[in-house]
Amino acid sequence: MSRDDRGQVAIEFLGMVPLILLTFALLWQVVLVGYTYTLAGNAADEAARACAVGDDGEAAARRHIDGAWSVSGGGCGDTSGGMVHVRISVDVPVLVPGVGGLFPVVSEAGAVDERDLTP
């Protein structure tokens, strides 16, 4: 009975498949974390702009974030010094948007309060 290496590559590939899939899942999770930071920053900017002119900042923040991401905050916060400050918190999803939350991403933004400005 002779022993050769036929089928060895297939066996090694099957052994590596779980590691390859785990690597892809981790890379995808990193992409979701980065995208959540981008969404949170944009939502905070939009909420601050809305609050600066007297609109609903929370509604403006929710308009700019997909429904799969859970959002909290966005209400018109501190208005001292002629500025409106807004704080948004968006949960990072676990592998699929809309599923769970690893940790919250907090973003803050400010805009000049235009409600008190006279033309």
Per-residue pLDDT band at 58 (split at 50, 70, 90): confident
Q: Taking 60 as the threshold, does the pLDDT of residue 1 lie above it?
A: no
Average pLDDT of span 15-43: 93
Which letter, b or e, does each residue of 42-73 get, where b requires 16 or more Cβ atoms within 10 Å of its Cβ? bbbbbbbbbbbeeeebbebbbebbeeebbbeb
Q: Which of 25, 5, 3, 35 is nearest to 95 (CA)?
A: 25
- Domain range list for the chain: 8-112
Per-residue pLDDT band at 118 (split at 50, 70, 90): low
Distance CA 90, CA 44 (A): 10
Q: Taking 70 as the threshold, does the pLDDT of residue 79 lie above it?
A: yes
Question: pTM of the entire structure?
Answer: 0.79
